[in-house]
Every structure is written in C-alpha cells, then in structure tokens.
C-alpha cells in the first residue's frame, strides 16, 4: 500500500508531496490559473508519470532482450478537453527517442507491450477516454 503525504508550502497553490521513503515532488497550479511556478501542475505530472511508467517498462523489456541502450528520452504532447471542469486528457502523443545497439522490431515490441499491456498509467488514462499514440526515433532516424 502506498502511503503519501501532501503539504501546502507556498501561497497560492504550492504543494509538496512526499512518499514513504522521503522522496519529494513539488506541484503548483498552472501560471495562468494563479500558480507561481513552485512546481509542476498535477495534470502535467500525470503525463510525466505516463512517460516514466512506460520508460521503465521499455528499459526492462529491452534489457531482457539483450539490447544495449546508450540513451533514452521520451517527449509527450497532450491535449485536454476544452470548456469542461474537470478537463481530462483526450490525447497524448509520445515520442520514444532511443539510441544504442537496439533492433528496431524489438524496440517497437517493447513500446507496444508497455503502452498496451504493462503501463498502469497508460491504462488509467485510457479508461478515462484518453487516446495514446506514439512514435519511435531510433538512432536519430
């Protein structure tokens, strides 16, 4: 069971979340909604969590397939519902940027397995109606 705490630290909307191991993340409202750039917005944090969750899966899968990763980044763009409260993520497009001694077919399969089977954040977003798409850039191509 996860045990987290969140404390309000800065007016107007600056919060710091701490997990049971003492690891911290700072959150704030978007600047256009009164935030002061104390931290990331919770909704952007959700997209960051999508990338991190999937990234962990991809690394685990490629390691099991004996692929050598020299660098790995994920970029994501999201689109939220307009004129709704709450405004959920409708679309998320992920760009997986991998370099190393990696077979393209194995990278594609690792990403597919993550997004469609293993990543809990992806499934959470999908159940809320978000369409997740992705692309692969392998060794700069």
Q: What's the rounded mean pLDDT across residues 94-119?
A: 98
CATH number of the 42-138 domain: 3.30.300.20
Confidence of residue 38 (pLDDT cuts 50, 70, 90): very high
In this prediction the pTM is: 0.94
CB distance 27 to 40 below 8 Å: yes
Confidence of residue 86 (pLDDT cuts 50, 70, 90): very high
pLDDT of residue 15: 98
- Number of Cβ atoms within 10 Å of the Cβ of 120: 12
DSSP the chain: ----EEEEEETTTEEEEE-TT--EEEE---GGGT--SSSB-HHHHHHHHHHHHHHHHHHHHHHHTT-EEEEEEEEEEEEEPSS-SS--EEEEEEEEEEEEE--HHHHHHHHHHIIIII-HHHHHHHHTT-EEEEEEEETT-
Residue boundaries of the structural domains of the chain: 1-40, 42-138
For residue 89 the two structure tokens come to: 């993520």
Q: What's the rounded mean pLDDT across residues 50-74?
A: 98
Q: What's the rounded mean pLDDT across residues 95-106?
A: 98
Confidence of residue 22 (pLDDT cuts 50, 70, 90): very high
Confidence of residue 98 (pLDDT cuts 50, 70, 90): very high
């Amino acid at each position: 069971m996860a045990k987290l705490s969140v404390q309000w630290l800065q007016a107007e909307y600056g919060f710091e979340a701490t997990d049971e191991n003492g690891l911290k993340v700072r959150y704030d409202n978007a600047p256009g909604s009164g935030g002061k750039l104390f931290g990331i917005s919770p909704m952007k944090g959700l997209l960051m969590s999508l990338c991190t969750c999937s990234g962990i899966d991809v690394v685990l899968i490629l390691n099991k397939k004996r692929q050598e990763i020299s660098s790995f980044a994920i970029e994501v763009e999201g689109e939220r519902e307009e004129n709704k409260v709450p405004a959920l993520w409708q679309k998320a497009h992920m760009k997986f940027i991998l370099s190393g001694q990696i077979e393209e077919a194995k990278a594609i399969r690792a990403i597919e397995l993550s997004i469609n089977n293993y990543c809990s954040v992806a499934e959470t977003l999908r159940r809320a109606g978000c369409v997740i798409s992705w692309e692969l850039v392998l060794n700069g191509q």
